[in-house]
Amino acid sequence: MFRSNARALNRALERLKNVQTKVNEALKRSGIQEKSLERKLRIWLRKVEENVPLGELILEKRSSCAIWLSDKDVEILEKVKRLEEQGQDLIKKISVNKSSREIVERVLGPSFHPQKTALEMLDKLKDCLKKKNVQKIGVWGMGGVGKTTLVRTLNNDLLKYAATQQFALVIWVTVSKDFDLKRVQMDIAKRLGKRFTREQMNQLGLTICERLIDLKNFLLILDDVWHPIDLDQLGIPLALERSKDSKVVLTSRRLEVCQQMMTNENIKVACLQEKEAWELFCHNVGEVANSDNVKPIAKDVSHECCGLPLAIITIGRTLRGKPQVEVWKHTLNLLKRSAPSIDTEEKIFGTLKLSYDFLQDNMKSCFLFCALFPEDYSIKVSELIMYWVAEGLLDGQHHYEDMMNEGVTLVERLKDSCLLEDGDSCDTVKMHDVVRDFAIWFMSSQGEGFHSLVMAGRGLIEFPQDKFVSSVQRVSLMANKLERLPNNVIEGVETLVLLLQGNSHVKEVPNGFLQAFPNLRILDLSGVRIRTLPDSFSNLHSLRSLVLRNCKKLRNLPSLESLVKLQFLDLHESAIRELPRGLEALSSLRYICVSNTYQLQSIPAGTILQLSSLEVLDMAGSAYSWGIKGEEREGQATLDEVTCLPHLQFLAIKLLDVLSFSYEFDSLTKRLTKFQFLFSPIRSVSPPGTGEGCLAISDVNVSNASIGWLLQHVTSLDLNYCEGLNGMFENLVTKSKSSFVAMKALSIHYFPSLSLASGCESQLDLFPNLEELSLDNVNLESIGELNGFLGMRLQKLKLLQVSGCRQLKRLFSDQILAGTLPNLQEIKVVSCLRLEELFNFSSVPVDFCAESLLPKLTVIKLKYLPQLRSLCNDRVVLESLEHLEVESCESLKNLPFVPGNTGMINEQMAWEYMSRTLG
């Protein structure tokens, strides 16, 4: 009995000491500095320090004589076991305490293929991070060899163990070829959660340094460094004693860069050996690579890729699913012919050229167009497609929607060929820098038909006249610091594209400048500070796309009458007061964007009516007030002109009152593929969302509005500070003969007088397909009241957002919950001062399977809910919950954790809950 108890005590002590070590390390690494929080951890550590010596003393005294353990000794054994269990929970709470998204942020990109050499390099990099005498680590190798993939994998591996890895913060910055100190500092500052005024910009380095010193230890990953960077000037305090445990990892194509930055360790990422290159090639090509007929040739193709991962992946995916031997032989011949024999980088370009050669002719030019944008630039897909159409690379005869569909399909094909990749935000793409280098190399080396001048994002101050030749077809000087444009330029009769956007210092376009480009098809001057354009602008008879977005000083334009081929006109957020003269003569015009034109006051009558090819009219956020026929201002366009446009597919407009948009316009909404309607007399109101059919009504009395016919086509409805909502809803309930099945999202803001009118209870679910519901300052005690009021069953609801509902006591009760929320995935609740619980299950039968009520609920976010006591009762386990955030909910006592599923909660709540658990 003694030996059994002694062994159990000994094992328990060993486990407890291991946990004690992990807790100490985790506490140190998590970067917690608030003394009140540390004190709660110390309570557990103190108990461990008190009980471990007692347990060891028992073992020492009892080992010399085989006697029974006393009850007091057994009590110590049980305490040790309890402390060990509490310690394990504590480690989990520390993980919760310091959100992994705060310590490490995921970096998106191609996945890391787990081959032996790659894993060894990753292990070597991790070992360097653990060495005390290593602060700066260089990762170098040729373009496309996998440097970024290696450090991205390191970053994302640290994310998996964010709370227990050694750094208080991991910072990722992409530097790029054209290093901009301020931009890199701003990226670091943003990661540190810092915002700066213009006056503070000169103090960026000092502020970053002070913040990083406070962190104690950090990891900074600088990806794609082309030139040595002065880390002290950047604000990185590696030389200070308190930062000795901090590290910097940089990637570069040049070992010299690493050496000049005085790295302590340098890891070369080399091309793959033959065996691993073949494995990676087969992984991307698929089973066809090992077929009897193809395999011998495939081996030679893989060999021609020279072990370069980028080339292997690109060529492999190009040949994926192609079993024809003839295709493989042709590929091999192209590879052998296209790869130069001297410069290794040119050999890479040769392999990339093979993927280029596989493209259809129109796709080749579309691909090369993407290289006109700066390095690491995220290109908006819709804008890219319009460029392609304007230059004539895509068939401009299709309808706008068909044109967009074709363009998106082409983009996806380029992504599948690894020639494009996802951008940093939704619906954007960008080029890998090696692929971009190849495209620029190709355009400069192929001579006639491809010649482009690409100097985007190079920090140019003066216009590079010496680089111009008359045969240049595309000119991209976007995102520079040009101070002025010259009046005299070598005439470029073949120039079709001129991209100058982002040169914010340019205040004037000289008359002689545009005369040098008589055959322009695309002119983009977005973001420049011009007030108008010169008279020579009217001579651009071939112009198809004029883009002047964010030209906030632009007040007027010369007449557009002579630009008969113009298809796309973008004046977003310009200062124009009236639509340009001569617009009515542009029978080819298919796209007009004058969104956020806050000073637009005049559209002459008949102008819109003449635009017979117009497919897109985007006036979201415009100040122009549309009149109704018979009530219009003299000489001004009316909404009736819009309804007469035969090809219109997208319309975004603002009207003063919902009553002005009568049932007569029903045929218009039916034929539109997408619309955004805002009804509001308030000038500053934001336009509605970006869905297919968005309707927003703000600051309007809707008591007499009959909009049931309009809601048949609406996918998103936003009601903002509207009087008479009870009357409008009663109208819908009593008069609607069918549900509004298109509606996917409903937002109601400020509805303080919700009341159920007598006999108004709906037997029909008005919004049966509703997926998103947002309620702000709505007078409800429970969301369930909407069931009776609007018939809401919420069967399809995925997202629920509630804020400022001061009467709300619970989100849902049994009546609404009983099997009616099968698709709810996320709940956000903020500033509901009387909310006591989320779900009330008190009357659910004992034999009812409560878990099935919320089978897909994975995310709950709660903030500023002072009366919230619980989420649900003890009978219910939220088994699908993956993410839980709680902030300023002082009364919350019970959290719905299940084994292995702790969710994520904020720092303060984690400690409050932990201290109760530990007693």
- DSSP of 824-891: --EEEEE--TT--EEE--TTS-TTS-GGGGSTT--EEEEES-TT--BSS-TT---TT--EEEEES-TT
> Are 180 and 41 within one domain?
no
CATH code of residue 294: 1.10.8
Residue 100 pLDDT more than 60? no
pLDDT of residue 505: 95
Q: Which residue would you say has higher pLDDT here, 668 or 326?
A: 326
The sign of the dihedral angle between the CA atoms of 756, 757, 759, 763 is negative
Would you place residue 454 in the very low, low, confident or very high pLDDT band (cuts 50, 70, 90)? Answer: very high
Cβ(129)–Cβ(151) below 8 Å: no
Residue 170 pLDDT more than 80? yes
* Selection from 235, 222, 220, 136 nearest residue 185 by Cα: 235
Exposure of 82 by Cβ count < 10 A (0-12 exposed, 13-18 middle, 19+ buried)? Answer: middle
Q: For residue 775, which phi and psi values (nearest 5 degrees)?
A: -125, 125
| Residues 613-657 pLDDT 10s | 999 999 988 988 887 666 667 778 888 889 889 999 999 988 877
> Are 246 and 304 within one domain?
no
Enter the tokens of residue 832.
Answer: 């509901």
Q: Is residue 522 in some structural domain?
A: no
- Find out whether 164 is annotated in a ligand binding site: no
Q: Is residue 884 in some structural domain?
A: yes
DSSP 295-346: HHHHHHHHHHTTT-HHHHHHHHHHHTT---HHHHHHHHHHHHHHS-SS-HHH
> Are 71 and 199 within one domain?
no
pLDDT of residue 433: 80
pLDDT of residue 136: 95
Cβ(319)–Cβ(285) below 8 Å: yes
- Find out whether 141 is annotated in a ligand binding site: yes
Cβ(204)–Cβ(197) below 8 Å: no
Q: Is residue 508 in some structural domain?
A: no
> Are 138 and 174 within one domain?
yes
Lowest mean pLDDT among 132-136, 183-187, 229-233, 786-790: 786-790
Q: Looking at 46, 62, 97, which one is the last position of a domain? A: 97
> Are 59 and 81 within one domain?
yes
pLDDT of residue 35: 46
Residue 918 pLDDT more than 60? no
Total-model pTM: 0.75
CA distance 252 to 259: 11
> For the chain, first and last CA: distance in Å?
32
Q: Is residue 736 in some structural domain?
A: no
CA distance 453 to 533: 23
Residue 448 pLDDT more than 70? no
CA distance 191 to 162: 16
CA distance 546 to 576: 15
Q: Is residue 196 in some structural domain?
A: yes
| Residues 404-417 pLDDT 10s | 999 999 999 898 88
Give the per-residue SS3 of 842-860: CCCCCCCCHHHHCCCCCEE
> Are 304 and 389 within one domain?
no
> Are 264 and 285 within one domain?
no
Q: Which amino acid type is present at position 388?
A: W
- Find out whether 205 is annotated in a ligand binding site: no
Q: Which residue would you say has higher pLDDT here, 60 or 460?
A: 460
| Residues 19-47 pLDDT 10s | 888 777 666 654 554 444 456 667 878 88
The listed range with the strongest mean pLDDT (2-6, 100-104, 732-736, 881-885) is 881-885
Q: Which residue would you say has higher pLDDT here, 51 or 526?
A: 526
Q: Is residue 504 in some structural domain?
A: no
CA distance 746 to 772: 6
* Selection from 761, 751, 748 nearest residue 790 by Cα: 761
> Are 242 and 326 within one domain?
no
* Selection from 547, 507, 511, 512 nearest residue 526 by Cα: 547
Q: Looking at 423, 450, 477, which one is the last position of a domain? A: 450
pLDDT of residue 911: 38
Q: For residue 702, what are the CA distances in angstroms to 131, 404, 621, 645, 681?
A: 69, 37, 21, 29, 13
Q: Looking at 450, 483, 518, which one is the last position of a domain? A: 450
% residues pLDDT > 70 (the chain)? 83
- Find out whether 87 is annotated in a ligand binding site: no
Q: Which amino acid type is present at position 560?
A: L
* Host H or E run for residue 174: strand 170-176
| Residues 484-541 pLDDT 10s | 999 988 888 999 999 999 999 999 999 999 999 999 999 999 999 999 999 999 999 9
Q: Is residue 716 in some structural domain?
A: no
pLDDT of residue 875: 56
To the nearest 10°, report the CA torsion of 354, 355, 356, 357.
50
- Find out whether 149 is annotated in a ligand binding site: no
> Are 287 and 229 within one domain?
no
pLDDT of residue 94: 58
> Are 33 and 134 within one domain?
no
* Host H or E run for residue 523: strand 522-524
- Find out whether 148 is annotated in a ligand binding site: yes
CA distance 657 to 646: 25
Q: Which amino acid type is present at position 349?
A: F
Average pLDDT over residues 444-466: 84
Q: Which residue would you say has higher pLDDT here, 693 or 737?
A: 693
Domain tally for the chain? 5
pLDDT of residue 724: 85
Enter the tokens of residue 741.
Answer: 């099945």
Enter the tokens of residue 614.
Answer: 């117009």
% residues pLDDT > 90 (the chain)? 39
> Are 246 and 134 within one domain?
yes
Q: For residue 368, which phi and psi values (nearest 5 degrees)?
A: -65, -30
> Are 125 and 262 within one domain?
yes
Q: Give how far the C-alpha of residue 84 lies from the chain's centroid of Cα atoms, to the nearest Å.
A: 42
Would you place residue 893 in the very low, low, confident or very high pLDDT band (cuts 50, 70, 90)? Answer: confident
Q: Is residue 545 in some structural domain?
A: no
- Find out whether 145 is annotated in a ligand binding site: yes
pLDDT of residue 681: 82
CATH code of residue 383: 1.10.10
Show the domain range for 87.
1-97
Would you place residue 867 in the very low, low, confident or very high pLDDT band (cuts 50, 70, 90)? Answer: very high
